[in-house]
């Protein structure tokens, strides 16, 4: 073997190893993003369930309506990343409640969970549903 053949073989091996390592790093970043996205979705859904459990009774006297935006302020939550070891990721849940119709009574609930991925990219997970009053 000549020196040129050895250098070409080492170059090809170096390219193959660097491709494998970069593919592994891409998979790690994708898995971390997916875990954070799933956690943000769960936190937004948790907030929706809190709002769905609020009392809203139009048949009683006096009428009870706890489904107002002032009862559900924006909250900062922690997204769980067990075992990743890269610190805590915080998210903010933004709540919107709006009246869709009065007859029949129907309200729209929307929660946006905004968080930051790798300190630079803002990501929003949104959960939206409708709710009728208690019967």
- The full set of domain ranges for the chain reads 3-131
pLDDT tens digit sequence for 90-112: 999 999 999 999 888 899 999 99
Average pLDDT over residues 40-62: 90
Distance CA 125, CA 6 (A): 52
- Would the pLDDT of 60 be above 90? no
Nearest to 76 by CA among 49, 114, 110: 114
pTM value is 0.81
| Residues 100, 109, 118: CA angle, nearest 5 degrees | 140
pLDDT tens string 21-45: 999 999 999 998 998 999 999 999 9
User: Over the chain, what is the mean pLDDT?
Assistant: 89
pLDDT surpassing 60 at residue 84: no
């Amino acid at each position: 073997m000549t020196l040129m053949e050895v250098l070409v073989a080492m170059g090809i091996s170096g390219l193959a190893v660097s491709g494998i390592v970069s593919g592994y790093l891409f998979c790690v970043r994708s898995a971390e993003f997916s875990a954070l996205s799933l956690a943000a979705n769960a936190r937004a859904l948790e907030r929706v369930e809190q709002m769905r459990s609020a009392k809203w009774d139009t048949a009683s006297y006096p009428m009870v309506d706890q489904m107002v935006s002032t009862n559900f302020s924006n909250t900062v939550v922690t997204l769980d990343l067990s075992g990743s070891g890269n610190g805590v990721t915080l998210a903010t849940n933004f709540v919107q409640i709006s009246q869709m119709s009065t007859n029949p009574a129907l309200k729209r609930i929307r929660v946006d969970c905004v968080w930051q991925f790798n300190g630079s990219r803002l990501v929003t997970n949104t959960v939206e549903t409708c709710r009728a009053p208690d019967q």
